[in-house]
Amino acid sequence: MIKVPKNITLHLSDEAYQRFRKIAVGDNRSMSNLIETLATQKLTEELFTDTFETEEILSNKTLRRKLKKGHRDATLKKGRFVG
């Protein structure tokens, strides 16, 4: 299967546009590439743990037990979501 890049429309304030433009020009890259790179980095930071955090989680039996219970409860739609 061939993956085709997707286009989106992004509305930026003049200030944000100029900030992105300045950084993109300084890095000799397109604004599209800069924004995609920054967004991907942010998602990675938010969704994944680093090696130290992973080791800390795996070594904490109480935390692992609570995470498993929470996952099980969520799968069974038990309890309520607090956002």
Cα separations in angstroms, 63 against 54, 56, 58, 75: 12, 10, 8, 18
Helices 31-47, 14-26: crossing angle, 10 deg rounding: 100
Q: Provide the pLDDT for residue 46.
A: 82
What's the CA gap between 80 and 67, in Å, rounded? Answer: 15
Task: Summarize pLDDT for 11-23 with one digit per residue, the tens.
Answer: 999 999 999 999 9
Nearest to 9 by CA among 37, 35, 30, 28: 35
Q: Looking at the whole model, is its pTM more than 0.85?
A: no
- For the chain, what are the domain ranges? 13-47, 49-78
- Radius of gyration, CA atoms only, the chain: 20
Q: Provide the pLDDT for residue 83.
A: 64
